[in-house]
A and B are shown apart, each in its own frame.
Chain A
Amino acid sequence: MSKPSDLVQGTLDLLLLKILALQPMNGWAISLRLKSISGDVLQVSEGSLYPALHKLEQEGWITAEWKQTENNRRAKFYSLTRLGRKQLESEAANWQRLSSAISHIVRLEEA
């Protein structure tokens, strides 16, 4: 399995959960959203997006259903489950801890 190259390991899950927490979306929309909110800083290959979504689905964190898009096309829409919300909370908290710790260390070195 190829890992998203420019992303800190495990953060793709967090990003996807966060995006889906805002509203249910299909894969294409997610890829657009990822690009738009992170600018060009985070490069997520479209190839790794779907395996990641599948993994989240198999973990039971997100659930999928087939719905019509605004252009009347059938697409698979993902939404967060109760379990996923919990997971998002804990991963977000983790990330907060980690990033604040790292930035603290980085600042120390500069001082």
Chain B
Amino acid sequence: MRPQHWLYTIPLRLRSLFRRRRVECELDEELQFHLERKIEEGIANGLSPKEARYAAMRAMDGLEQRKEEMRDMRRIHWLTDFLDDARFAIRSLSRTPGLTAFVVITLALGIGMTSGTFSMVDALIFKPYPVPHPSGVVTLVSTTHDSSFDNFSYREYLDIRGKTKSYDGVIANADMEAVGFSAEPAATPRIKGGMMVSGNYFHVLGVEPRLGRGFREDEDQVPGRDAVVVLGPDFWKREFASDPSVLGRTIRLNGAEFTVIGVAPETFPGLLIFGHPDFYMPLAMAHVFSTNRQKSFFEDRDDRELAVRARLKPGTTLEEAQNELAVLAKNFETEYPKVNRSRGAAVHTQFQMRTRADDGNWKFGVIFSILALAVLLVACTNVAGLLLSRARARTREIAVRLAIGAGRFRLIRLLLTESLILASLGGVAGITIGYGIVLWFQSFQNVIFMTDLPFSIPFRMDTRVLLASLALAALSALLCGLAPALQSTRVDLVNGLKSADVDVPGRKRLWGRNVLVVAQVSASLMLLTASFLMVRGFQHDLREGTGFAKDHLLMVSFDPRLVQYNAAQTQQFYKLLAERVKVAPGVESEALTQNIPLGTSDFDGIAFVPDGFQMPRDRENFNSTMDTVDEGYFETMGIPISRGRGFLASDTADSSRVAVVNQQFANHYWPGGDAVGKHIRLDSRAGTLVEIVGVAQTIKYQSGFERPMDFVYMPLAQHPIARMTLMLRSSGDPLQLVQPVKDVVRTLDPNLPMLHTMAYEDYYQNQAVEGPRIAMKLVGSMGAVGLVLAIAGLYGLVAYNVSRRTREIGIRMALGAASSDVLRLVMGKGLVLVGMGTVIGLAMGFGVERLMNSMLFNAGGVDIVAYVMVVPSLFLVTMLAAYLPARRASRIAPTQALRYE
């Protein structure tokens, strides 16, 4: 319709809506006027007043029908009808406050669990990049045998940028790195999170700086020339109190001077899910930030540190981009066979990247969504059952309405309005619960991220989540309301009017109810199984242990680059540090390691060729994770060396290269043989020769749930690393060693900051135990809610069945049935239903177990104990829910039962 038209019609509709009584009066008056004229005319034509009146009415063809027709003309009857329905529904719901409250609470639990979970899943998977037109931004990945989502090197990035035509710009960024920041030259540097990005980063993403400017393309051309930095919005607020004069100021990053040229807008906290970089630097400044000293960032084509994204040109399809990049990857392979053999490339959308099978967020999202939906399903079936019972108790009312001409559709609408009101109340309460869950998640902020880097939990109750929750509430209204509404309006009028409660011949009606019971029992069984499996899987992994000693350990991290040490000074510092803390009071042993086990940062990777190993034709090397440690590491961490030796002080930069591998690695490449004495070559067949001098026991490296993985240790003396963590084994409380370490560091360099100083066991508790425990609590409460709802639902259904059959039971008992017969009669059906539910629930439980095993735990087979615990207890509890009403039925006195109703 034309907007101009609305100008006229909207006031008219509003008038019909809000001045309803007035409009009705006018309608009456108008028709009355007409009738009077007509009667006058009739009398004038010689009719008696009575005849004239009669004729006038007849000419109208039914006055009331006309009025109704005129009301329909107002085009608002759908709304007025709805308001009438709503008023009626509220009145009838408030007549049964207990039932209403139960239904609302049930729905609230279901919707709340789901909306809390959705806030998590949305942040992890669905939420688009915070940039304009985010759907055009795709991710380019390098693919190998071992990883389908590898990064690109700087050289490769330049080639992609120069040789592709599918994009309006190709951007690159390195990982967010720990960077030493100081606003004043004299201040001790503090650790902040910085990210190196390409010069066109902000421009291509369409992010307009809030202050100053983004990088220019030419600021990313010459290595080391343009020391400029763009601040993140939060960082600017925290460190500079949102001071606009920060532009042009000089700050120090890792000791080098950088000029602030801009501030990113609030709307752009970065492209990462958890991390929000404090500042951005151009890639060309990599020499200030790069951690990998073995490779040259600007030259080595296999120094793959860059995540590459691009904005697709409008009209270019993903396939075209894919094909173009595949050709480019083929060219790389022929031009640089050494570093690119059997290496491909692919283009993925954001959604594809976030739903990749090896992504932990995706796995968690899937599992939690399944569980939350199961809770919602149980809640909905519960409510549907209750509404069904309620609707049946109203059979006579509905029959009367149908008999005096109400349309079936109109009645269904009335009943659906009722469930819509219930769902709205439940939805609002549910969103409150969901918000509570989000707050609960956020309260673990400091537990989960024990790091100096700017990470935060991104789960929010924002508009997206609110809308989804409301949609869920509406959907559950339909789910719970439709079946009862359809069924209860299909009444046999004659019988319906005769008795308050009719049993329609045939078993069709009971079918729906039975499905509800089965669905409830099976869904709650699955929920319980899942929570039990999770708890047990977690305990199993905890019991299995990590393979090293966690107690009596102090950890302190150092990064001498923060005070501008060069490589030689850095290694001298670590050498002296180790020597001096070793003899400090209370120190039993000392270790230096690049990464701590089960820490937040990932271990480095290493490419190698086992010497004398026949490499498959299509691959250049194998990959493994690695750590750089000093000679005290294995002893201090309590990691047993099962064969050969650990590192010695005699393994120096000048002696021949050595490495220690773990048992898994040894078994992998030399099954049945002895790895000690064997050699590997780094990078390729022509690479540096490294002798394996020892085999260490396999421990847990990245997470408590991981499967055993290959691992290589390199000695610090031969593989220098700038950022190292000192681990000290103490005889007493490890925190008592903090002061002695401080003293030692002061003698070496009073300006060098000590980072991350804490007892390893505390760190481990938070990092590896507390995080999974939060997930378990959530799953556990889902299981508990599911079970309680299922029990309540089953009890309600059986109790209702019994009350409906009271008369029948009375007759049976009057005819001589014993109370045990009645018990069997009532229980028998419940048993069958619970049995069916259990079988289906078991099947679903197995499915969930397989899913969880493949995704979260390293456990292989079926956890029999979990089922032995869950299935009988659920069976018992549900049987009890059926037994109580059944027993009541069996004790009914026949005289009383026959008088019932």
Binding site for B on A (CB under 8 A): 1-2, 26-28, 31, 45-48, 50-51, 54-55, 57-60, 66, 73-76, 81, 83
B163, CB-defined interface residue at 8 Å: no
Residues of chain B with a CB closer than 8 A to A27's CB: 30, 33-34
Q: Name the segment of B66-74, B267-275, B449-457 touching the other chain.
A: B66-74
**B29 to A1, Cβ gap below 8 A?**
no
B12-A60 in contact (CB<8A): yes
Query: Which residues from chain B sit less than 8 Å from chain A, CB to CB?
Result: 4-5, 7-9, 12-13, 16, 26, 29-31, 33-34, 37-38, 59-62, 65-66, 69-70, 72-75
CB distance from A5 to the nearest CB of B (A): 11
Which residues of chain A are within 8 angstroms of B4 by Cβ–Cβ distance? 83
**Closest B-chain residue to A59, C-beta based?**
B9
Give the shortest distance, in Å, between B44 (CB) and chain A (any CB).
13
Report yes or no: A54 in contact with B74, Cβ–Cβ below 8 A.
yes
Given A45-B61, A76-B30, A76-B33, verify A51-B73 contact (CB < 8 Å): yes
Given A60-B9, A81-B8, the answer on whether A51 and B30 have CB atoms closer than 8 Å is no
How distant is the Cα of A56 from the Cα of B34 in the complex, in angstroms?
Answer: 18
How far, in Å, is A32 (CB) from chain B's closest CB?
A: 9
Pair B61/A47 contact, Cβ less than 8 Å: yes
Measured between C-beta atoms, what is the minimum distance from B698 to chain A in Å? Answer: 80
Do most interface residues of chain A lie in helix, strand or loop, or is the interface mixed? Answer: helix
CB distance from A108 to the nearest CB of B (A): 38
Q: How long is the Cα–Cα vector from A60 to B6 in the complex, in angstroms?
A: 9
Q: A47-B66, A50-B70 are in contact. List 8 more A-B contacts (CB 8 A).
A: A27-B30, A46-B61, A54-B73, A59-B9, A60-B12, A75-B30, A83-B5, A83-B8
**B73 touching A58 by the CB < 8 A rule?**
yes
B70 lies within 8 A of A46 (CB): no
Complex CA distance for A66 and B4, rounded to whole angstroms: 25
A28 with B62: CB separation less than 8 A: no
Q: Can you report 26 residue pairs joining A to B where beta carbons are below 8 Å apart?
A: A1-B69, A26-B33, A27-B33, A28-B37, A28-B38, A31-B34, A46-B34, A47-B60, A47-B61, A50-B30, A51-B66, A51-B73, A54-B70, A54-B73, A57-B12, A58-B9, A58-B16, A58-B74, A60-B5, A60-B7, A60-B8, A75-B30, A75-B33, A76-B30, A83-B4, A83-B8
CB distance from A50 to the nearest CB of B (A): 6
Q: Is the CB of B73 within 8 A of A46?
A: no
In the assembled complex, which residues on chain A have CB atoms less than 8 Å from the CB atom of B59? 45-47
Q: In the assembly, what is the distance between CA of A31 and CA of B75, in Å?
A: 24
Q: How far is the CA of A28 from the CA of B60 in the complex (A)?
A: 12
State A81–B59 Cα separation when bound (angstroms): 29
Residues of B within 8 A of A2 (CB): 61, 69
Q: With A47-B66, A74-B29 in contact, do A28 and B9 touch (Cβ < 8 Å)?
A: no
Closest residue on chain A to residue B66 by CB atoms: A47
- B74, closest chain A residue (CB): A58
Task: Select the residue from B9, B69, B72 with max chain A CB neighbours within 10 A.
Answer: B69
- Tell me if A58 and B5 are in contact (CB < 8 A): no
Complex interface: chain A residues within 8 A of B37 (CB): 28
6 smallest A-B Cβ distances: which pairs? A60-B8, A47-B61, A54-B73, A51-B69, A28-B37, A54-B70
A66 — which chain B residues lie within 8 A by C-beta?
Answer: 26
Residue of B nearest to A30 (CB): B34
Residue of B nearest to A52 (CB): B73
CB < 8 Å: which of A28, A48, A59 contacts B34? A28
Residue contact A51 to B70, C-beta cutoff 8 Å: yes
Q: Which residues of B contact A1 (CB under 8 A)?
A: 69, 72
Cβ distance A11 to chain B, nearest Cβ, rounded Å: 18
A73–B62 touching, CB < 8 Å: no
CA distance A66 to B23 in the complex (A): 12
